[in-house]
Amino acid sequence: MISVEEAQKIILNEIQGMPPEKILLSDSLGRTLAEEICSPLDHPPWDTSAMDGYAIHFSDTATASPENPSHLRVVETIPAGALPKKRVKPGETAKIMTGAPMPLGANAVVKVEDTSGGHQKVQIFRPSENGEYIRHKGEAIRKNDPVLKKGMLIRSAEIAMMASIGKSVVPVFQRPRIAILSTGDELADLDEPLGRDKILNSNGYGLAAQVSEAGGLPINLGIAKDEKKHLEEKIISGLSADFLIISGGVSMGDYDFVIEVLEKLGVTMHLWKVAMKPGKPVAFGTKDGRPVFGLPGNPVSSMVTFEQFVRPAILKTSGRRSHTNLKTPDHRHTARRHPQTTGATTIFARDCLT
């Protein structure tokens, strides 16, 4: 048997990237950037005020104090979203709001808390420094500067950044379509009558959720019987997807036919069995470049092996830069019994994955 680390390397070495596509910024949350994003403009686009206050020439307040304030004439008011109309001359000021463009002639802003008066004349009670409370053109982002790297996950912050530079269409990697097949005569789907010889198919739904969390598009193929012909038909339909995940049927029981059927269908098997617990009977192969995973049928083992092997593969094929940031199962929990029903799955999976 090989180690978890060896298995991860073998799998990731076989994973190919998805092609890029362009989508609306509003649809890009949770996707992966397919290109570096550079700013087409300076941000801010001009010198702006960082405070509500007064745009001044700093030398006009050189001797200002509470006891001896500077007196300046207000020539205009500049709200955010409006352009200045007048030049500020010595002895003059313009009342200005946060984010408004600086008027010509002004080289500092004094915040409103340090003033008195306001519409025609204003008293200023402290000296200002050259450039004080001014956000200069391009201070945050300069035109043509890279702002987001290829392979980054698009979160709310990245969306806000792209909106701030006018990026309405975003290059992302396509999401892989991932077929999910559960195997076993003992399985029943959620809406089927549950006989005494059946257990519910939790793996199909759990794996679909894990696929979605990793950024893939799950395709639930349902349940394959422990019968070679039926299993073959299901696998053939799954091989049309970008990935195929099969849970169950990969161990050494009399009715574990998955490996045999995969090889018959031309799947090249790269590994089978990994030195880990839970999750030893893991299989991985490829067919025409498409990854095929055989995971254990036990619900906890299925979830743990997905996290160790399938999630990194999905992240890599989706172009994610951080696909190798993995957790190794905590073997302190492996002595517990494995649940065979869905009721305990969540509790045991949480123990193994955190």
CATH of the domain at 120: 2.170.190.11
Q: Specify the number of domains making up the chain.
A: 3
Positions of E strands within the chain = 20-24, 37-38, 48-49, 53-56, 70-78, 92-96, 108-111, 115-117, 121-124, 134-135, 146-148, 169-173, 177-183, 187-188, 199-200, 217-224, 243-247, 268-272, 283-287, 290-295
pLDDT of residue 75: 96
Pair (160, 227) in one structural domain: no
CB 55 within 8 A of CB 71: no
Pair (153, 229) in one structural domain: no
Pair (269, 150) in one structural domain: no
- Domain boundary among the residues 109, 135, 161 is at 135
HSE-up (13 A, CA, CB side) for residue 303: 23
Pair (103, 208) in one structural domain: no
Q: Which percentage of the chain shows pLDDT scores above 90?
A: 80
pLDDT of residue 324: 60
Pair (261, 246) in one structural domain: yes
Q: What is the mean pLDDT of each run of 10 residues along the chain (354 residues)?
A: 95 96 97 96 95 96 96 96 96 97 97 89 96 95 95 96 95 98 90 81 95 96 92 96 93 78 96 92 95 94 96 96 55 36 35 36
Cα dihedral across residues 236, 240, 246, 251: positive or negative: positive
Is it true that the peptide bond before 296 is cis, omega within 30 degrees of 0?
A: no
CB 243 within 8 A of CB 291: yes
Pair (286, 306) in one structural domain: yes
Locate 237 and state its tokens. 């339909």
Locate 71 and state its tokens. 């007196």
The SS3 call for residue 249 is coil
pLDDT of residue 24: 98
Locate 95 and state its tokens. 């009342």
Angle at 251 between CA 249 and CA 257, to 5 degrees: 40
HSE-up (13 A, CA, CB side) for residue 25: 15
Pair (194, 225) in one structural domain: yes
CB 300 within 8 A of CB 345: yes
- Alpha-carbon gap, residue 307 to 315, rounded angstroms: 11
- Alpha-carbon gap, residue 117 to 74, rounded angstroms: 10
User: Residue for token digits 């951080």?
Assistant: 322
The SS3 call for residue 312 is helix
Amino acid, res. 293: F
Q: H or E element: which one contains 285?
A: strand 283-287
Pair (158, 191) in one structural domain: no
CB 231 within 8 A of CB 261: yes
- Alpha-carbon gap, residue 118 to 56, rounded angstroms: 13
Considering the entire predicted model, what is its pTM?
0.79
141 is a domain residue: no
Describe the strand order of the beta sheet including 70-78 as a list of residue ranges: 108-111, 53-56, 92-96, 70-78, 121-124, 115-117
- Alpha-carbon gap, residue 153 to 150, rounded angstroms: 9
Q: Which of 317, 351, 319, 270 minimizes the C-alpha distance to 172?
A: 319
Pair (284, 262) in one structural domain: yes
Pair (126, 203) in one structural domain: no
Q: pLDDT tens for residues 311-324?
A: 999 999 999 987 76
Locate 113 and state its tokens. 């808390």
Give the single-character DSSP code of 256: -
Domain ranges, residue 161? 21-43+146-173
Q: In residues, how long is the chain?
A: 354
Please list, residue by residue across 5-38, b when 16 or more beta carbons sit within 10 angstroms of its beta carbon and e when fewer do. Answer: eebbeebbebbeebeeeeeebeebeebbbbbebe
The SS3 call for residue 71 is strand
pLDDT of residue 142: 95
Q: pLDDT tens for residues 331-342?
A: 333 333 333 333
Residues 6+ apart with CB under 8 A from 77: 94, 95, 96, 119
CATH code, domain with 277 = 3.40.980.10
Give the single-character DSSP code of 174: P
